[in-house]
Chains A and B, each alone.
Chain A
């Protein structure tokens, strides 16, 4: 029963969707009026990987020469394509009314904020390098390095084509660890904030204490971002969000890493201010 529960969590994480409304930026030059385009975005994927249709939609009303590289922006913030969609949403738009309204640009690429994304192979390279980094933390990179080229391809194709079984058949190996150690060497995680100069916080953190006790999400935050923890008497200042939910602080980080990591094997944790209203 418990195994089945865990598998259900993996499925729910994989099949998470965000309803999105793409609107063309008002200053873009069009031949006709551009209708908004609605789409369900997969949380675990990357925005440039799933927006071919959006591009086609707006092509119809624009001249070819007016179209440069497409980029997205939400309420003035350019959206980084190399962050998973779920993270972008949790970080920037957690508590707004749905659908998520994204503005589409074809001009004035914000070179300072965004990386160019000329093709899907760049996304693949980024994805694979992130997985490798995660495995370096978890197994000193032994598991990912023992895999063959086709196994790497299977991970990527599973993500690209939204094939849960294909992806997890391989990803399962990355989630294994020696039983006697009780978990990975270090937990691959990143903590993001909107109001910060640093893009994210990342530290070495073990899943179990020296005495063999499991570390919890609370332990992790206390170590890395103590401000995120609310004392009993105070009002809650921050929400700690992964995949659009707030896990309990008692949740063991090892379990979180196995079940709530993104396909790139990282726990992307958003710490956002509690909405005032």
Chain B
């Protein structure tokens, strides 16, 4: 299907049509002077001009708390699937890259049915960034624009018109609700390309001084670098950097019993490798006791472990949320990676 061009009014009608499907539409809206993905009630609340949301849209693909099964104590259990169809509207390219990476991680090896069932029911509408956030560095990470992975991609042009590119059957099915939008012209497509080129250059408030693909090699030589201790000295181990990170997917699994003490349920909830007891195992052994070891782990995971596991994209997409969320102001990955780069001999 060709790319469609909406006037703002036509687009509002399209959003209304989405709302009328009865499927929840999660979209960026104003919240306490910032932005957050929340259930959308009206097109008037939609903020396609948002800079960045407080939490990434991962909260809809991997909920903060998700029931997995119900059990009888010392008896049988049964899997619980709570996922419902959902439209996820207005996902920035860097957040989309993060979701695609999570898809791969939950698909590989032990196929995670809870995650995949939820994910498959989401129609994902991406949106090219209109307003760069204060700490974004997606340009440095190669995630400022995307060419695949979405069901629909929206691009807002200078004149306020909105281009919509439905790339999948799910996307095309949804865009049929849009009614009478005109196809985009050659000039419109050229303008869209200009938006991508612009974003590839300007979403760069912190500049990584090397290609991200070099990070695994740099980290290979940096395990005992003094930067880990220096930064971690101020680390609260509060996991804020993990919480707001679109590529952090670690979870804890816990059981709760009901008052009858005979039945209960198992759920998973977000965990974070910066938290003191993230690596505590049976017998109360904690194999990552030091703040510095935990601090290092996060940046190794982003820059080395995950890309080596799944290949390709570094597990930092440059959203800059950790930089803003860290109370102690020690979380900036670019600052650390640049410092390591300086001290690394690349042969």
Q: Is chain B found bound to chain A in the same assembly?
A: no
**Could you tell me which A residues sit within 8 Å of B by CB distance?**
none
